[in-house]
Homo-oligomer: A and B are copies of this chain.
C-alpha cells in the first residue's frame, strides 16, 4: 500500500496496546491524533493495529508492522505495572536485552521526591529501554519513550496517555521522521470550523468541492454541534489547497466561526481578548459546561469572569434574581427565564456580555410543547437582551454539549455584530 500510493512518502504504521482497549473498556484516542498529525505533516499512515497486553502478540505485531512500513509508532505499555510490556516486546523483536537508562531513573526518583511520596518498586522499570535504543524524553510524565531499528524500519515507542504522547510526537518523532525522508512531497491540510448548521447542510454548500475525483480532498466531520471541514492536498495538489479553502470559507460565510480547527470556547475567548470585552455565563441544563470551555484557554481570565450554575430553580432566583413569578408563569425552559438569567449574570458579574442556557437535556422532563432537546438561550449586552430557541437530538450528553457550544457561538455572533439566531 505504501508502495502503491506513497511514492517518496514515508509510510507509517501505528500500533496501540492494552487489554482495556481490546475489551472495549477504554478507547484508543491516540490513533486519530497521530494519524491527523502525520497526514498534515505529509506522511502516509499505512495502517493501524491494536493488540492486548500479550508479549507474543506484541512481538508479532511489531515485526509485521516493521515489515510493512518505514516507521512504526507504538503507544502504551510503558507504565510501571506488570501488564506494561512494550519495553520487553520491543527488545524481543529487535533481539536485544533491556538496560536501565541512568538519567531516566534519576528523573523518575526526583519526580517521586517532588510528590513527597516513596517510589513504588515497579516504577524503576520505567527507566529500562532496549540496549541500543535512543531515549525520547517525556517532559510531562515519568516513562521515557525510545526509538530503535527493527529490520528496515524505525520503531518509536511512546506512552499511552495522550497528554504525554503528543508533545513527544511533536518534539521528537516528527523531526526524526522528517530526517528519514528529507525530500518527501509537500502536503497541506487546512480547516474551517462551523457551529449552527447540521453536517449535511454544510456538506450541501460545498458538495461539488467534496467530489471524490478532485485533486484537493474536502471532507467534513461533526462533533457536538461543531462541523469541521478539512481541505487536504498532497503532492501537486498541495499548492491548490489554499484556493479551495478560501472557496469553502466564502460558501460558509457567518456559519464559519474560524478558518482553522479550534474549539468554539477557545475561539470566543481569543475574540473577546482582542476586543477588550468580558463575558459571563448563566447555565441550567449545561451546568457549567459553557463556563468550563471558556476557561480552557490559558489567560482566559482576562475575558471570562465567571458565572452561575443555576441547576435548581431556587438558585435561579437566589443567585440570578430570576423572579419566582416568571418561573411559575413560563416554566424554567422559556424565553423570559433565559432572558432574566442572562441579565442577572451580567449584572452580578459586571461583565460586558452574558449568555444564559436553559433546556431539557432529557431523557425525562419533557412537557407538552417542551420536548426533550429544547433549549432556550439568551445573550445580554449593553444593547439589551436577545433570546433564541434551538432543538438538539442525540441523548442527554450530546444535547448538553451541543447546547454549550451553541451558547458560545451566540456570544461570538454578538461580538461580531452578526444576527443571533
Contact = CB atoms under 8 A, between A and B. Distances in A.
Interface in A275-295: 280-281, 283, 285-292, 294-295
A397 interface: yes
Interface string A4-31: 1100000000000011111111111101
Given A298-B364, A309-B308, A362-B298, A219 B25 contact: yes
A377 B206 CA distance: 50
Given A49-B48, A308-B309, A24 B36 contact: yes
Contact of A210 (B50, B83, B211, B318): B83
A48 B47 contact: no
Contacts of A242: none
B35 A48 contact: no
Contact of A140 (B24, B221, B393): B393
B50 A230 contact: no
A28 B31 CA distance: 9
Contacts of A198: 115, 117
A120 interface: yes
Nearest to A5: B54
B298 A53 contact: no
A229 to B, nearest CB: 10
Contacts of A182: none
Contacts of A27: 29, 32
A230 B142 CA distance: 23
Most chain B C-beta atoms within 10 Å of own C-beta, residue among A20, A50, A295: A295
A391 B305 CA distance: 24
Contacts of A21: 32, 35, 48
B292 A289 contact: yes
Given A48-B50, A291-B309, A349 B319 contact: yes
B53 A219 contact: yes
A327 interface: no
Interface stretch (A74-82, A89-97, A252-260, A412-420): A74-82
A315 B306 contact: yes
A54 B1 contact: yes
B26 A221 contact: yes
Interface residues of A, number: 121
Given A80-B203, A199-B79, A47 B24 contact: no
Q: Copy number of this protein in the oligomer? A: 2
Given A200-B122, A312-B301, A314-B350, A57 B50 contact: no
A283 B289 CA distance: 12
Given A23-B189, A53-B219, A288 B283 contact: yes
B4 A54 contact: yes
A298 B400 CA distance: 12
A301 B309 contact: no
A201 B120 contact: yes
A236 interface: no
24 contacts: A5-B54, A22-B47, A23-B36, A23-B230, A24-B33, A25-B219, A25-B221, A47-B49, A47-B57, A49-B50, A79-B199, A81-B199, A82-B211, A83-B212, A115-B391, A120-B203, A122-B204, A283-B288, A288-B309, A298-B361, A298-B364, A306-B311, A308-B319, A314-B350
Interface of A: 1, 4-5, 18-29, 31-39, 45-54, 56-57, 61, 64, 79-83, 115, 117, 120-123, 140-141, 161, 163-164, 189, 198-201, 203-204, 207, 210-212, 217, 219-223, 228, 230, 232, 261, 280-281, 283, 285-292, 294-296, 298-301, 304-312, 314-315, 318-319, 348-350, 361-364, 391, 393-398, 400
Given A82-B210, A304-B311, 18 more contacts: A19-B232, A22-B45, A24-B45, A25-B261, A27-B32, A28-B31, A31-B50, A47-B57, A120-B204, A122-B204, A123-B200, A140-B394, A288-B291, A288-B292, A301-B312, A307-B309, A318-B349, A319-B348
